[in-house]
Structure 1
């Protein structure tokens, strides 16, 4: 078990200048099965390969011994770009790492770069929680993130595969995905996602559509009433905090705040957030 992801960074990433750099054959190295990145930008790889042709690999990759060869822990982009550049060897640091340490190191290195897709981040968080047996709150503390940030990403994994692909490709945003999760009739998610794409709906427009569908009121007969700007902003803030739909209804000097939950687990998650705020 890792002692802590935040504190563990120094242990996992010691100063490479103190380690021996070896020149390894590319064909002796295989990809990391724990690599969280599933999409590698072709143009970016080609640009990096051109740089490697001219200057070589400036920072060694990190590998671990597996069988008679090696497995990449950190540096798969450099490895792929070196292949594109026609290189036969690559500078590398060989470390003795367990499966858990290799997974943790690969995920942390990619999360630090902050260029993963929302789905890759969600899957990385989920994998860390399962492998290290962490709760969302514990993971948030170790990574220095907020609990809603972790919850909002992981909730995306409940979306249909087709919608997950669209978010990964940037066709739909994380905001679109979170809004689609607010549909009471989950069988409508794919159809409404397709409508969102075909009509180029932004998140606010999609939120309005989802609200109309949930209320089961025909769009042509629905009377629109503009919500107070302050209340709308507060709803948005609470929606970010709780990672779910929040509605504020105000009548004269009284009103109510409705927080939607989608399952017993979601209910417990919201209760924990409320209890943390006390």
Structure 2
């Protein structure tokens, strides 16, 4: 007998879709597709995906002495490639806009807009929508951009900050870890890391902006690190690094003696006893929900929960798996 699959979407997204449908019904005839002159379209100045490339550089090239030459060159090459596609087959996915005064402002599709300019197009297909409230505008941009491989952590942070501010303004609530998980449809671990990203201080934000930190997990480790002295030393080291830092492994090689000696002096921790087998089962289930332990879950499917010896052995196996899968960086941070 086949089992029907059930698909769900985040409650906030469902609410947003309902509001959009209701708005479309109430404003029938005002929500439509059209061809629109590029002259009356303007970009969103707060779009989290900001190009470092100027329009002049996009048309005429980049000075090789520019400190951001590598980044700008990558952006220009991507736009040129997209513009060639626009010349051959046009824009298949319409640019979404809303009326703002005498012009129309972009909601999604800014790179398609720039590619059309580069391809010397006079007009582009657009989807004209009702002006969204600030939160749903930023949320729509997040959904549009999040799966792009070239999306930087700096762009994600900007989008999250805009969403958090709009969420506070519209609902008088902060964007908590729980809200992020439901809103973005991500795992609890990913939501925890995004929440940590929102708490990054000025030094970490600067490192993210410079592109020296582009790893969400690493930022979370630094944000939640309790040893402020060690944390400040790591941040100073990252600032001095010429390239992007993807883990603290290299730092540990430089300052490894201190770290290793700290690890060696740690004393065994007694975690206490659990008398209720249901609680023991729940604890193991919670631990195994971590995505890093996914490949080991099958090992714990045949535990004899009526046997205290089997349960004890299961916990011992679990701790070994955690030690093998969690990196030294995570051991130190936590």
TM-score tier after normalising by the smaller chain length: 0.5 to 0.7
Q: Distance in 1 between matches of 2:197 and 2:253?
A: 19
Q: Which deviates more, 119-128 or 73-82?
A: 119-128
SS at match of 2:45: coil
Q: Distance in 1 between matches of 2:220 and 2:241?
A: 13
Q: Which deviates more, 114-123 or 68-77?
A: 114-123
Counterparts of residues 44-83 of structure 1 (less than 5 Å): 44-83=78-117
Query: What CA RMSD, in Å, does the superposition of the two structures yield over aligned residues?
Result: 4.0
For the pair 1:105 / 2:117, whether they are aligned, the reply is no
Q: Which ranges in structure 2 are unaligned for 5 or more consecutive residues?
A: 1-9, 53-74, 168-172, 267-317
1:137 Cα offset (Å): 0.4
Aligned length: 231
Larger Rg: 2
TM-score by length of 1: 0.65
For the pair 1:23 / 2:35, whether they are aligned, the reply is yes
For the pair 1:193 / 2:238, whether they are aligned, the reply is yes
Conserved in 2, the CA contact under 8 Å of 1:179 and 1:203?
no
Determine the structure 2 residue equivalent to 1:125.
Answer: 160
Q: Distance in 1 between matches of 2:220 and 2:180?
A: 21
For the pair 1:177 / 2:195, whether they are aligned, the reply is no
Partner deviation per Cα, 1:207-255 (whole Å, 9 max, x = no partner)? 636985xxxx658x95986x9xx8686258678xxxx9545xxxxxxxx
For the pair 1:93 / 2:135, whether they are aligned, the reply is no
Considering fraction of residues, name the structure with more strand.
1
Determine the structure 2 residue equivalent to 1:254.
Answer: none
Determine the structure 1 residue equivalent to 2:57.
Answer: none
Q: Distance in 1 between matches of 2:207 and 2:320?
A: 27
Conserved in 2, the CA contact under 8 Å of 1:123 and 1:154?
no
SS at match of 2:228: coil
Q: Which ranges in structure 1 are unaligned for 5 or more consecutive residues?
A: 248-258, 261-278
Determine the structure 2 residue equivalent to 1:270.
Answer: none
TM-score by length of 2: 0.56
Determine the structure 1 residue equivalent to 2:177.
Answer: 136
Conserved in 1, the CA contact under 8 Å of 2:154 and 2:214?
no
Conserved in 1, the CA contact under 8 Å of 2:181 and 2:187?
yes
Residue 245 to residue 126, structure 1, CA distance change in 2 (3 Å):
farther
Determine the structure 2 residue equivalent to 1:146.
Answer: 187
Conserved in 2, the CA contact under 8 Å of 1:176 and 1:206?
no
